[in-house]
A and B are shown apart, each in its own frame.
Chain A
Amino acid sequence: MIWPVDLIIMLLVMICGIGAIMVRDLLGAAILFGAYSFLMCLVYAIMGAVDVAFTEASVGAGVSAVFFVAAVFHTSRRTKD
């Protein structure tokens, strides 16, 4: 593992994770969650777990983001809290 790359990705993971629960726009939260999943996929790939990284990229960053957008489509974009 190259530690500067690792550190940058971990920082971005934290920013995306906190941003996804803090942001008021639900569509923005869905997209931030997709970015979070993709960064986690990079972490898995760095650790050598390529199969897990592949699953995370296809399920977490790909299809579940679409499901979130489809669910936001049927509700309001602004959250109350």
Chain B
Amino acid sequence: MRAFALITVLMVGGLLFYGLPDFPDWGDPASPASTHLSPFYIEQGAADTHAPNVVTAVLAYYRGYDTMFEAAVIFSAGLACFFLLRTFRQKSIETRLYRHLPTGVTLRIEEGGKTPEGSDEFEPIDSHWVPYDMIINLTCRLIVPFVQLFALYVIAHGHYSPGGGFQGGVLFGAAIILYAISTDLRTAFKRLQEKAVMLLSALGVLIYAGTGVVCLVLGGNFLDYSFLAGILGVDAVMARSHGILIIEIGVGLAVMAVMVMLYYNLSSAGRHDEGL
């Protein structure tokens, strides 16, 4: 079986290398992509959308329909992970660990024992619990707000610099994942519940598709943001710029929520009790 796999891989690799010389050179101005499509985007992009970053203009305006389905693909990936992993059957944990906050003493309570649930002085801790490291805890606490701020900057500044909804959403999700790693999963759930994550991921895709439908209702094509000019009170070009920002926010919300949902389900194997 291994020999068969190796032969297959070598043959496919050989085919790829065989086809390589037919490709145009990297950055060749005479290649088909550079002769017809790219000049149009480079010349018209800034004039059409007020977005100096051509990639954002192509991704969110000229190819907005493709990007909408990319967001939908990410949303369905999150849903698939949820349906595959999430278990609602409560697995009975025989022993539970509680930490007494003022003294730092850890209590180990066997099954059927009286748990100090609801008490302010005790907190439940994971069975793989490692003692609190103050440096890691404080560093993560300091870093998380700045990562979130940078994520918002990346989303809002996508017209001018590299970045946009996808990258900003991933960064925002990474900040929440960092918070969940540095404390534990239960603390993260207190900040961002599972229901909120599910709602946000659906809301992001809804914002994107809803913008397209609003354009449709106002008499334009699907995702033709220039017809939003009446609602936003600006001219058509500025309306395209604002439309790009609106759908970037939608993509950012969806991606952030899906990243957090994937982490919640993967790190706790779908049980949502204790994790990484």
Contact = CB atoms under 8 A, between A and B. Distances in A.
Q: Do A and B bind each other?
A: yes
Given A51-B55, A51-B162, A54-B162, A67 B170 contact: no
Contacts of A53: 162
A81 B143 CA distance: 40
A66 B163 contact: no
Interface in B157-196: 162-164, 166-167, 170-171, 173-174, 177, 181
Interface string B45-56: 000000001011
A58 B276 contact: no
A55 B170 CA distance: 9
A63 B173 CA distance: 8
Contact of B276 (A55, A59, A62, A73): A73
B263 A66 contact: yes
Contact of A74 (B171, B262, B263, B269): B269
A71 interface: yes
Given A51-B164, A69-B276, A70-B275, A58 B171 contact: yes
B88 interface: no
Interface string B233-276: 00000000000000000000000000100110011010000011
A47 interface: yes
Contact of B262 (A51, A58, A67, A69): A67
A51 B57 CA distance: 12
B4 interface: no
Contacts of B269: 74
Contact of A70 (B162, B167, B171, B267): B267
**Most chain B beta-carbon neighbours within 10 Å: one of A50, A55, A59:** A59
A47 B25 CA distance: 12
Given A63-B177, A66-B177, A69-B276, A55 B266 contact: no
Given A50-B162, A51-B162, A70-B275, A58 B174 contact: yes
A3 to B, nearest CB: 12
Contacts of B164: 51
Interface string B6-43: 00000000000000000000100000000000000000
Report, as a range, how many residues of chain A touch the other chain: 10 to 19
B: interface residue count bin: 20 to 34
A72 to B, nearest CB: 10
Contact of B167 (A58, A73, A74): A58
A78 B267 CA distance: 19
Most chain B C-beta atoms within 10 Å of own C-beta, residue among A47, A62, A69, A71: A62
Nearest to B2: A81
A62 B154 CA distance: 16
Contact of A51 (B163, B173, B259, B263): B163
A70 B173 contact: no
Contact of A63 (B259, B275, B276): B259
Interface of B: 26, 53, 55-56, 59, 162-164, 166-167, 170-171, 173-174, 177, 181, 259, 262-263, 266-267, 269, 275-276
